[in-house]
Amino acid sequence: MNNNMTTERAHRGVFSTSSYVSIGDQYGKKVPRDDREKGVQFQAEFPKNGIGGARPNNALFDREHKWLFGGEKYIDRTMYIKTQPPDQRKKGFNSSDARRRDEFTLDIETQKWRERISTEMQFAEKFSKHQEATMTDEERRLAEEASRKPEPRWSHGPKYLFDLGKEATGGTTPYEMKDSRDTWYSKHRVAAENDGALNAGGYALSSRAYGDNLKNYNSWTKPEFARQPVIRDNFFRSTGVLKKTT
């Protein structure tokens, strides 16, 4: 009862007015910021476009790339002037230019690549034979199963397009009364053929990161410690209000 009073003591329902520990204290001053919160908090050096695509500014010891032969004069290795002196050249069509047939037939770099590839293939073949010789029976069985071609799924349909609609080749769409029209990839057919599970092939979906380990789990039980319907189970039993009926 507040006795028609509007004081703090009446509203709180206490015998005396409450006191506060902060009476007379100064207003809270602004706390100085930490030095770590001042200035730039995060800084990133973005790469610049260059010959290699993009690289950070501090990728090299120097600010610029120093070329090995930068500034040197180009020297032609062919030296047609020495192999074919101008005074010994025969003129053809009133031109004394040197014969340059070998200019586009030099296959030195091609032979280098062929030698490297052949060497790598020799090492690969040698390692393959060594690995095959040291394999166990279990590893051989797993390798054979991995190399075996998988059986085509029902969703692939017939092998050839002209077999569509032929019952002998499995190209007819089965009738499903729940579908509004004939549909090969019917959701009801998928539920029956794949046991209701989505077949994503060899890809892992991001939605499977949660709950994938609970697939086909049905052993759900009531928790021992949980919120119970106290009012329904304990009150008003004599009158039958909120009582569970069967």
- pLDDT recorded at residue 238: 52
Token pair for residue 128? 């393959």
* 3 state SS for the chain: CCCCCCCHHHHHCCCCCCCCCCCCCCCCCCCCCCHHHCCCCCCCCCCEEECCEEECCCCCCCCCCCCCCCCCCCCCCCCHHHHCCHHHCCCECCECCCCCHHHHCCCHHHHHHHHHHHHHHHHHHHHHHHHHHCCCHHHHHHHHHHHCCCCCCHHHCCCCHHHCCCCCCCCCCCCCCCCCCCCCCCHHHHHHHCCCCCCCCCCCCHHHHCCHHHCCCCCCCCCCCCCCCHHHHHCCCCCCCCCCCC
What pLDDT score was predicted for residue 116? Answer: 93
Distance CA 123, CA 222 (A): 63
pLDDT reported for residue 47: 63
In contact, 188 and 180? CB cutoff 8 Å = no
pLDDT by 10-residue block (mean), the chain, 246 residues: 72 76 73 80 67 62 77 77 86 82 75 92 92 89 86 78 78 83 81 74 72 68 70 56 52
What pLDDT does 235 receive?
A: 58
What is the C-alpha separation between 119 and 129, in angstroms, rounded?
16
pLDDT computed for residue 115 by the predictor: 94
pLDDT at 80: 82
